[in-house]
A and B are shown apart, each in its own frame.
Chain A
Amino acid sequence: AQTVTQSQPEMSVQEAETVTLSCTYDTSESDYYLFWYKQPPSRQMILVIRQEAYKQQNATENRFSVNFQKAAKSFSLKISDSQLGDAAMYFCAYINSGAGSYQLTFGKGTKLSVIP
């Protein structure tokens, strides 16, 4: 079974600074997808960024980028120029790309605080 581990229950960052959230996963599959979801206090789950395992190039979305290390099974999220609106829970998630696999496996989350 796949597992996703986020070792940092809480993180804080100064506004305008950069922060990196860690995520590791365990799988025996070679083809899969990884995601970071953001959950603000409003509870809505918002997709931040996705990464295909077969792609070596790290995904980027504006101020958000990932460092995907397939051999190490590591998938960290970097937030640059942090803003107050970035304060939220962040969840790392994994899904197999094989036929018949539709279950997103989530980590326990990292609570990010942004200090003005």
Chain B
Amino acid sequence: DAGVIQSPRHEVTEMGQEVTLRCKPISGHDYLFWYRQTMMRGLELLIYFNNNVPIDDSGMPEDRFSAKMPNASFSTLKIQPSEPRDSAVYFCASSLGQGIGPNQPQHFGDGTRLSIL
């Protein structure tokens, strides 16, 4: 069973450019989460979806950030325009239900390391 798949693994781009991060959740999972990891702030939840519908985006830092989930097998996190302070590792995770059951934790992808020059 394939895990959560994120692409690209690394992204380096110049300030002001649009960045799109992609995520394919585990098949059958009904929740999808986007996290950002930085040295200063650790792991922070940005937004999560239930059955493709955004439920809580209170963690999205600014209007420059947007996320979509057009179907159950694909989600994107977009930053436009990008800034150097957006440099971080972005993780996508998915779960069946709340992600607390003994066999239903949140499964994380390998993350995208984003560097904005």
Contact = CB atoms under 8 A, between A and B. Distances in A.
Contact of B110 (A35, A43, A95, A103): A43
A106 B42 contact: yes
Contacts of A103: 45, 48, 56
A104 B71 CA distance: 23
Interface in B39-59: 42-43, 45, 48, 50, 55-56
A42 interface: yes
A33 interface: yes
A106 B43 CA distance: 6
A95 B98 contact: yes
Contact of A33 (B42, B48, B93, B100): B100
Interface in A46-98: 46-47, 50, 91, 95, 97
B28 interface: no
Contacts of A109: 42
The binding surface of chain A is classed by DSSP as: loop
Contacts of B108: 37, 44-46
A28 interface: no
B48 A45 contact: no
Nearest to B41: A108
Interface of B: 31, 33, 42-43, 45, 48, 50, 55-56, 89, 91, 93, 98-100, 102, 105-106, 108, 110-111, 113
Interface of A: 33, 35, 37, 42-47, 50, 91, 95, 97, 101-104, 106-109
Given A42-B110, A50-B105, A104-B99, 20 more contacts: A37-B108, A44-B110, A45-B91, A45-B93, A45-B111, A47-B105, A50-B100, A50-B102, A95-B98, A101-B98, A102-B50, A102-B55, A102-B98, A103-B45, A104-B33, A104-B43, A104-B45, A106-B43, A108-B42, A109-B42
14 contacts: A35-B105, A45-B111, A46-B108, A47-B106, A91-B42, A102-B31, A102-B55, A102-B98, A103-B45, A103-B56, A104-B43, A106-B43, A107-B42, A108-B42
